[in-house]
Amino acid sequence: MQKFEKGDTLSLPAKKITQAMICEYADAADDHNPLHIDEEFAKTTRYEGTIAHGMLSMAFMQELMVRTFGVDYLTRGAIEVSFMAPVRPGDVIETSGKVTIFEEETGKAALQVICQNQAGEKVLNAKCTLRAKEA
Amino acid sequence: MIMKFADVEVGKEYPAREYVVTEEGIRAYLAAVEDNTELYEKERLVPPAYAAVFARWEVVADEQLADGTVHAKQRFEYYKPIHWGEKLSVKGVVKEAKEKRGMKFVVREVDVYDSTGDLVVVSTITVIFPA
């Protein structure tokens, strides 16, 4: 397992959200809520246009964790995410994390992970953790 | 049926339903989220974020959310890797329903087991019902 220090930062290359990507996600996740895929409908809502599924951006956070911790994240990991602001077609999302806990001996770790848009606005905020390895 | 806050029953359990994670489904998902992490292909593993597909409330309950429902928080806990083609058993339970500062919160949990009966994922979903 890779070693980290408290305060280390990790990131993914930025991803551009497009309406095509949102529609592809809707099909893949079987979530066809019109708020995400029907511009005419979405214009009538308080969002005034389509927005991406929150779980689409959350996937970027999970990608960061798996690229960092590999299979350990699938056996000991957890994520708790708050959806702070909508992600819209055209947004460019940067995903980054800061290590807040890392115990080499136990394997326990915690990261504060955020997704932010091109304006620097935080759109998702998460705490990602790895439980200690079982003895 | 559209679920109303008044109809939410804390403690209500929803019986297990089967969900098979297919290779086709995983590939479509990874393409959609633009994730080419080698681990998934190499070891035929299901990406953790795919729990958003098989561990969501709509898999266990035939209930529609009213327009204006907000998905406020989401927690996933992972216990065991899942492989492409595995048959999962997905159960649901309503954990909490409360009104706070005029907002109606409902917390639901979806527990996912593999074919050997081991717990693999716990999904905790917090939604705010429309006022």
Residue pLDDT, tens place only, B43-101: 999 999 999 999 999 899 988 877 778 889 999 999 999 999 999 999 999 999 999 98
Q: Do A66 and B48 touch (CB under 8 A)?
A: yes
Q: Do A63 and B39 touch (CB under 8 A)?
A: no
Q: Are strands B64-65 and B13-20 parallel, antiparallel or unpaired?
A: unpaired
Pick the CATH number of A9-17+53-130 from 3.30.450.80, 3.10.129.10, 3.40.50.2000, 3.50.50.60: 3.10.129.10
DSSP of B56-114: SHHHH---EEPTT-EEEEEEEEE-S--BTT-EEEEEEEEEEEEEETTEEEEEEEEEEE-
Whether A76 and chain B come into contact, CB under 8 Å, resolves to yes
Chain A CB contacts of B131 below 8 Å = none
Q: Report the Cα A62 to chain-centroid distance in Å.
A: 6
What is the pLDDT averaged over residues B101-115?
95
SS3 A73: helix
pLDDT per position as a tens digit, A51-99: 999 999 999 999 999 999 999 999 999 999 999 999 999 999 999 999 9
Chain B CB contacts of A29 below 8 Å = 29, 32, 52-53
Q: B24, B33, B50: which to substitute to probe chain A, counting the most A Cβ within 10 Å?
A: B33
SS3 A43: helix
pLDDT (0 to 100) of residue B67: 73
Whether A102 and chain B come into contact, CB under 8 Å, resolves to no
Q: Do B74 and A54 touch (CB under 8 A)?
A: yes
Q: How many domains does one find in chain B?
A: 1
User: Does residue A59 contact residue B49 with C-beta atoms inside 8 Å?
Assistant: yes
pTM above 0.90, yes or no: yes
CATH code at B27?
3.10.129.10
By CA distance, what is A46's nearest residue in B? B68
pLDDT at A135 > cutoff 90: no
Domain interval for residue B31: 2-129
pLDDT band per the 50, 70, 90 thresholds, residue B3: confident
pLDDT (0 to 100) of residue B80: 98
